Amino acid sequence: MKSYMQKKETVERNWYVIDAKDIPLGRLASRVAHILRGKNKAIYTPHIDCGDYVIVINADKVLLTGDKLDKKIYYDHSGYQGGLRQRKAKEMVEKYPVEMVERAVRGMLPNGRLGRAMYKKLFVYAQSEHPHMAQKPISIDVK
């Protein structure tokens, strides 16, 4: 008996919306990455981008547990000498909540061309409004 292998031409994609209010960041990111990869489908194939589109709303209300607000540091480097920039999680939540959620999800996706294609199907918004109502997204509860 042959096993089924998905073809990229026959992938059917759905749209999902996830409310990030009061959900721990790591739990949210792992669930979103799971859907972006397509692991929630029976037709999952590792070398094909068979994942769905995900919209994350209320990114500014995501939950960080423990001392992460004061101790977790996000690093960026420009590539030049002395170009290291450090921001604490508290600053990221206040000023850049969308970037914080995107970085958490991107870290859970595969590296390379396939992971970049999966990442393009992620849409994160700080507030509860989003411009994707025409796609009729299905609401998912993350606990």
Gyration radius of the chain's alpha carbons: 17
Kindly report the pTM of this predicted structure.
Answer: 0.92
Give pLDDT, residue 1.
74
Contact 58, 141 (CB under 8 A): no
Count the Cβ atoms, other than its own, within 10 Å of residue 110.
14
Cα 3 from Cα 126, distance rounded (Å): 42
Contact 39, 115 (CB under 8 A): no
Give pLDDT, residue 143.
82
Q: Where are the domains of the chain?
A: 14-140
CA angle 45, 49, 61 (to 5 degrees): 115
Give pLDDT, residue 82.
97
Q: Residue 22: what are its φ and ψ, rounded to 5°? A: 60, 35
Give pLDDT, residue 2.
84
Ranges of the chain with pLDDT below 70:
none
Name which CATH class applies to 14-140: alpha beta
Token pair for 100: 């914080």
Query: How does the average pLDDT of the chain come out, rounded?
Result: 96
